[in-house]
A and B are shown apart, each in its own frame.
Chain A
Amino acid sequence: MIQTTHAEIEVSDTVVRMQDIGFSYGSKALFSHLDLEIQRGNIYGLLGKNGAGKTTLLKILSGQLFPQEGSTTVLGDNPTRRRPSLLQEIFYLPEEFPLPKMKASEYLKMRSPFYPRFDHTQFAAFCKDFDVDLNQRLDQMSLGQKKKVLLSFGLASNTALLILDEPTNGLDIPSKRQFRQTVASAMTENRTFIISTHQVRDMENLIDPIIILHDGSVIFNDAVASVSDKYVLNLTTKEPDMATAMYVEKVLGGWMVLSERSEESEGQPLDLETLFNVVIEKGKGGVR
């Protein structure tokens, strides 16, 4: 009985399961045998080079694109069916979007009925945090302001899965800080965020685990700590031994060296940019 309950929890804890996904644009193959699992209650960071397929992956798991091969399950449902029961549990903030010619308050009235757990009090609080005027017309807002409105809307919709594609693009410096704080405060154990970004410094200390997409497959899907526990990053002025170093990067005044952690090793915390570069350079399974 206990085992059954445990198994059920395990199943329901997997928010996204993609198996053997194949996808191509015309004759250009993008994904081949891609597998991905996303667990509930985390803020995942989706990283990859330009053209790696981050947005395509997000569109597949939100049901906007249908994979040619493999299966995708999101919250236990097939996203290609686009059932309302699933769609009201997903909020997708794209990188670029036009908004209708109306006030933010009118937009709220028009869209909120589609989300059964939408919280108007939360929405007002998020808008206040982001310093958004609800009486301003959406079409007269800057990209950053529009993003703040949609972010507030998405967070207040209380969906189980929030997909944010480059959410900090267009945000000013204080807003990026506010974004991190707001997302962290809106996080609960029942929610899952997938944040696709190139701006890894904006997301430092927010996204973890990290998913890295490269050459048509997921080559890394783990917590940053899993790498930090095994490897150590040091700054050295002496030219490092390439044979023992996992990764070397020439920096101002020396070299940044990633090597295997030993009992007595001390080093800097591993930042996301270095982690990404290491994983990409070492390729599939290189640092795991």
Chain B
Amino acid sequence: MNRFQALLKRELKTSQKDMTTYALVIVLILFGFETLQSLIARYTHEMFPLEVYSEMFPNFLLIGGFIVTSLMFAEDMFGKNTQHDWLMLPATNLEKFASKAVLVTIAYPIALALLFFLTSLVTEPIQLLFFGNPMALFNPFKDKDIWMLLAQYWVWNSVFLLGATYFHKVHFIKTVLAIGVIGLALSGLALLFARILFAIRFGSQVQMFDAFSYLDARYVEQTLTSLKIYLVIGRILYYAVLPVFCMITAYFRVEEVQATDAV
């Protein structure tokens, strides 16, 4: 067994109990929700909704995934009595970071999809037997937006990964707050930038929202065509540069972590 495999095994073994509990909670929620929907459908004589799993999957992928990611480094990097074990583990900092990053970035979505499928495999025949509902097995690839969802998960998971290594406590909430503050600051900057552009184009006397009335459809189309390159740049920045930047910064945080960080 090589070191990276040993690290992955360690991660899985040490979080086995928590992950099993989390999986059970998901199964119970799905089963409970399905049953509730069936009961409502039966007594209101409405159609039973077939999209329960597809509607729930993004919530558990995004919210659940980000919480799991936020907690990934809590004990190993910042636990006063636990961090020595991780710091003294004979593996490179990159291997230690990558083992956790791989689990939350790749293994978590796969495991969650599998859990949803297996839950539907057990739940659906029961629902059919007791309520006569049609079988609706979970298939993540049925939904065309799955790749977009996974892309969003990839981007925002890297941000939460950085938050997990940056903040010492309450990682998830602090990351959400930090995103909020950065979002507000960027919105302010964008507003300022737009105001300047509009002032240049229409004169400083025109209010920004009034400026929209000057825009005809042809002008908008022309403008958007010229903005396409910026759109591509924006996508590259959003889907590639931002996550890679967050991952690299998170790795450097792992490299510089010391026992004092737990004090």
Q: Which residues of A contact B (CB under 8 A)?
A: 25, 59, 62-66, 82-84, 87-88, 90-92, 94, 96-98, 100-102, 106, 110-111, 113-115
Contact = CB atoms under 8 A, between A and B. Distances in A.
10 contacts: A25-B263, A62-B88, A84-B92, A94-B81, A97-B82, A98-B81, A100-B13, A102-B13, A110-B6, A113-B1
A114 B258 contact: no
B9 interface: yes
Interface in B205-231: none
Contact of A115 (B83, B90, B93, B263): B90
B88 A100 contact: no
Interface string B1-36: 101001001100110010000000000000000000
A186 to B, nearest CB: 19
A153 B262 CA distance: 25
Contacts of B17: 101
A65 B84 CA distance: 10
A87 B89 contact: yes
Given A64-B84, A66-B258, A97-B85, A84 B14 contact: no
A98 B259 CA distance: 16
Contact of B91 (A90, A91, A100, A114): A114
A82 B82 contact: no
B87 interface: yes
Contact of A84 (B1, B81, B91, B260): B91
Nearest to B88: A92
Contacts of B84: 59, 64, 92, 94, 97
Given A62-B88, A100-B14, A110-B9, A82 B260 contact: no
A114 B87 contact: no
Interface string B58-87: 000000000000000000000001111101
B85 to A, nearest CB: 7
A64 B81 contact: no
A84 B13 contact: no
Contacts, number: 63
Determine the main DSSP class of B at the interface with A: helix
A87 B88 contact: yes
Interface residues of B, number: 25
Determine the main DSSP class of A at the interface with B: loop
Interface string B111-138: 0000000000000000000000000000
A82 B81 contact: no
B93 A82 contact: yes
Nearest to B259: A64
B241 to A, nearest CB: 29
A114 B82 contact: no
Contacts of A87: 88-91
Given A84-B90, A102-B13, A106-B13, A65 B258 contact: yes
A90 B88 contact: yes
B259 A65 contact: yes
Contact of A114 (B90, B93, B259): B90
Contacts of A114: 3, 6, 89-91
Given A100-B14, A110-B13, A114-B6, A64 B87 contact: yes
Nearest to A159: B90
Contact of A83 (B10, B14, B88, B92): B92
Leading 3 A-B pairs by shortest Cβ distance: A88-B90, A87-B90, A64-B259
Nearest to B95: A84
Contacts of B258: 64-66
A82 B92 CA distance: 7
A97 B84 CA distance: 9
A66 B261 CA distance: 11
B82 to A, nearest CB: 6
B1 A82 contact: no
Given A84-B90, A114-B6, A114-B91, 16 more contacts: A25-B263, A64-B84, A64-B87, A64-B258, A65-B260, A82-B87, A87-B88, A91-B88, A92-B84, A94-B81, A97-B82, A98-B82, A106-B13, A111-B10, A113-B1, A113-B6
A96 B14 CA distance: 18
A95 to B, nearest CB: 9
